């Protein structure tokens, strides 16, 4: 049900001809109100795509009437002309939908450094607007795919209200958000400040802790739109948890469909002196290419975990570190632990536990293995 | 001529049986004086192998009579027993050579988390001592290879004195030194402080700026030994330059032989506000897996260069960034520049220039591409 699971939203997903393949590449999500509250979280990359610069500005107003999303081109590193393209996209949607351009968010994904074919984008917006429906959430989710092999949607229900969402992202997945576009919608009656709090809390422990390949995108966008159509004001904690559940579900789907990956790696850092330490150590492990190759080879190479921990500034004593792979404590007190032959790594899911033996903070980071398929896919992406 | 190019040094390289393959795996380098001055630089990884902990202690005295090096096992993450193994190695060499154990440095390389077969190591030291010769520098360089396909040596000559050296390292090559063992020797008459200054200055702009795969080793060791056998006191700048030249030569050889690599990538960051900024940006580019894949595919994907720059804290304006690949300025002012089809990437060497347009500082970082062969080699390494 995707972005149309909540009442008060329509969507469309169509082929505008942005992609040479003719696959769907333009999506529209429209909030029919009565509320138009919205919050957004964007990439931490200092090189930001034109749609990110635009939408960040839109979100400052806390109101979003519609979101235009396209795959087939990131509109990043395209200069002032690229920003004009985003502006024209928002103006076009505003005109067709009868809303203000300042309430139209735009999100793009695809190759960096290439202008969008604006004639096709603008014609596509007209076509999409004509197909808007409360039943087209799946179509919208399909239209934002790039190298994704499947489209990603999730839904959580509260008492009388719903949170739904869609996501795309398969590569350039790293802290500070992934190369991902995410639109979440709810019919709960929540104002922009309430959405902002719930969204920031949710992304901090979900999308921000997905690190598929260590590469941070120029285009990451996560939007949460509320229509208030249910007429129900949810309790704050319950709403925040529903948003977190949907984000976590989508984040896991991103990892599960990452480019070329054969393993999903769940890295849990425990007994850290602080959550910051736990996250730093988890990310260092997540980004270690040698370890990622070892996991691909189903090799419980805990030495590479220790060498990754050793590059961090977290509090730990090298002689008190413990590491488990799939619950076998192959490293104890910084040295050889239980028999590594006991580790069964045949499943797609591989769990690494790093015990820093310093405090009681913890964090979970999700990563993928490094494979020849990843290399192949990304050495051929733009050609 | 390797470590025996300078007068006053003998070396040996033998097969001690540490490697199952029966390949050479133990090297000995002996300083015959009259001077025994030495300096060392070790890994910045906080998880340090036993031989690093030992040798760092030895180097505090500024005197090294001999170095024992082995491949076939890193003796890292092996606990107090592993440290005892290193201690026993130094004691054995000291006894055989008639020197103090406190003047014997030890360096190991290979798999982390495995104890060394000490009976073979100790017997190997006796065998190596019996074969010491001023003509066996090449044999020593061969005995320290792991996944290296070739052994690495370099020599620079001053007026009446020589600096020679050997290195090994093919993976886990990253800032703060690589998985590499390096021994440099000179017959120049330089004291420990003079060696320390020359070595630190040289490694800072050579080995420290090699980033093949972003992974920092637990065992990196670079030693510089002076025999004084030439009787010549070199001028300080000339000596420092000779040490830098040998380090640079060996560092380039490491990149040229990195595991699975098909490209050597020279990343020059220019017009940075500071050298620190230039190095930070260079390292971020060097570690971007998506870019490394693109280079492998001979795809001048400058968008991935910009997205890597955007993750740093360096001073820059996204709209003033310029990027050249093999001298073609494919990105100008943060946007599309010259035709990317003009870029010829068929050579092994690929040159990326990132112009931050902020100041006049610069730095060069060397990296490799990311290939299916790298994945294969490192998913199978310990099995």
Contact call for residues A36 and A27 (beta carbons, < 8 A): no
pLDDT over 90 (residue B348): yes
Whether B194 shows a pLDDT value over 50: the answer reads: yes
B371 annotated ligand binder: no
Residue in B215, B297, B383 closest to A379 by CB = B297
Residue B179 clears pLDDT 70, i.e. is over it: no
The whole-number pLDDT of residue A345 equals 96
> pLDDT tens across B272-304, in order?
999 999 999 999 999 898 899 999 999 999 989
Chain A contact set for B311 (CB, 8 A): 44-46, 176, 216
CATH 3.10.20.340 positions along chain A are 264-379
- Checking if the pLDDT of B111 tops 80, the result is yes
Closest CA to A139 of A248, A288, A238, A16: A16
Give the residue among B172, B166, B55 at the shortest CA–CA distance from B111: B172
Q: Is residue A171 pLDDT above 70, yes or no?
A: no
Q: Choose between A175 and A309: higher pLDDT.
A: A309
Which range, of A230-234, A293-297, B111-115, averages the lowest pLDDT?
Answer: B111-115
pLDDT attached to residue A215: 75
A116-141 pLDDT per residue, tens: 999 999 999 999 999 999 999 999 99
- DSSP assignment of A232-282, as one string? ----HHHHHHHHHHHHHHHHHHHHHT-TT---EEEEEEEEESSHHHHHHHH
A318/B214 touch (CB, cutoff 8 Å), yes or no: no
Architecture of domain A2-256: 4-Layer Sandwich (3.60)
Burial class (CB in 10 A: 0-12, 13-18, 19+), A47: buried
ipTM over 0.90: no
- B179 is a catalytic site residue: yes
Which of A200-214, A295-309, B46-60 is least confident? A200-214
User: B214 with B286: CB under 8 angstroms?
Assistant: yes
Q: Is A146 annotated as a binding residue?
A: yes
Determine how many CB atoms are found less than 10 A away from the CB of residue A320. 14
Predicted pLDDT at B382: 47
Cα B173 from chain centroid?
Answer: 8
Of A257-261, B252-256, B350-354, give the range with the top mean pLDDT.
B350-354
A281 neighbourhood in chain B, CB within 8 Å: none
Pairing of strands A181-186, A162-168: antiparallel
At B352-378, the pLDDT tens digits run: 999 999 999 999 999 999 999 888 888
CA distances from A111 to A64, A114, A132, A383 (A): 26, 7, 27, 10
Consult the annotation and say whether A81 binds a ligand: no
| Nearest-neighbour CA in chain A from B357: distance (Å) | 15
pLDDT at A174 over 60: no
Domain with CATH 3.60.70.12 in chain A: 2-256
Distance from CA of B322 to the nearest CA of A (A): 11
pLDDT in tens, B307-334: 899 889 999 999 999 999 999 999 999 9
Contacts of A302 in chain B (CB under 8 A): 77, 113
CATH architecture of B264-379: Roll (3.10)
Whether B139 shows a pLDDT value over 60: the answer reads yes
Q: B383 and A299: CB-CB below 8 Å?
A: yes
Q: Is B179 annotated as a binding residue?
A: yes
Tell me whether A297 touches chain B (CB under 8 Å): yes
The C-alpha of B266 sits at a distance from chain A's nearest C-alpha, in angstroms, of 18
């Amino acid at each position: 049900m995707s972005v149309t699971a909540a009442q008060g939203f329509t969507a469309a997903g169509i082929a505008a001809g942005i992609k040479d393949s003719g696959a769907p590449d333009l999506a529209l999500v429209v909030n029919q109100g009565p509320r138009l509250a919205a919050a957004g979280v964007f990439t931490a990359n200092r090189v930001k795509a034109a749609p990110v610069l635009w939408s960040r500005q839109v979100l400052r107003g806390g109101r979003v009437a519609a979101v235009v999303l396209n795959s087939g081109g990131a509109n990043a590193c395209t200069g002032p002309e690229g920003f004009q393209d985003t502006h024209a996209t928002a103006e076009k949607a505003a005109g067709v939908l009868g809303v203000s351009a300042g309430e139209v968010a735009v999100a793009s994904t695809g190759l960096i450094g290439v202008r969008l074919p604006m004639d096709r984008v603008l014609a596509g917006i007209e076509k999409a607007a004509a197909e808007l429906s409360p039943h087209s959430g799946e179509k919208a989710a399909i239209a934002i795919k790039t190298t994704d092999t499947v489209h990603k949607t999730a839904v959580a229900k509260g008492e009388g209200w719903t949170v739904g969402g869609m996501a795309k992202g398969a590569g350039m997945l790293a802290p500070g958000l992934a190369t991902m576009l995410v639109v979440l919608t709810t019919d709960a009656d929540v104002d922009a400040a309430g959405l902002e709090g719930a969204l920031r809390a949710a992304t901090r422990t979900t999308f921000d802790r997905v690190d598929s390949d260590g590469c941070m995108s120029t285009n990451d966008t996560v939007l949460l739109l509320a229509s208030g159509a249910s007429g129900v004001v949810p309790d704050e904690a319950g709403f925040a948890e529903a948003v977190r559940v949907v984000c976590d579900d989508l984040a896991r789907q991103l990892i599960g469909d990452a480019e070329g990956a054969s393993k999903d790696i769940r890295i849990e850092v425990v007994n850290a002196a602080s959550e910051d330490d736990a996250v730093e150590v988890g990310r260092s492990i997540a980004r270690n290419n040698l370890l990622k190759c070892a996991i691909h080879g189903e090799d419980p190479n805990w030495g590479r975990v220790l060498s990754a921990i050793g590059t961090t500034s977290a509090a730990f004593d090298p002689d008190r570190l413990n590491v488990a792979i799939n619950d076998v404590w192959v490293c104890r007190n910084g040295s050889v632990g239980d028999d590594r032959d006991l580790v069964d790594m045949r499943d797609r899911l591989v769990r690494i536990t790093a015990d820093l033996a310093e405090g009681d903070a913890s964090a979970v980071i999700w990563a993928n293995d490094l494979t020849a398929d990843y290399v192949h896919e990304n050495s051929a992406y733009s050609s």
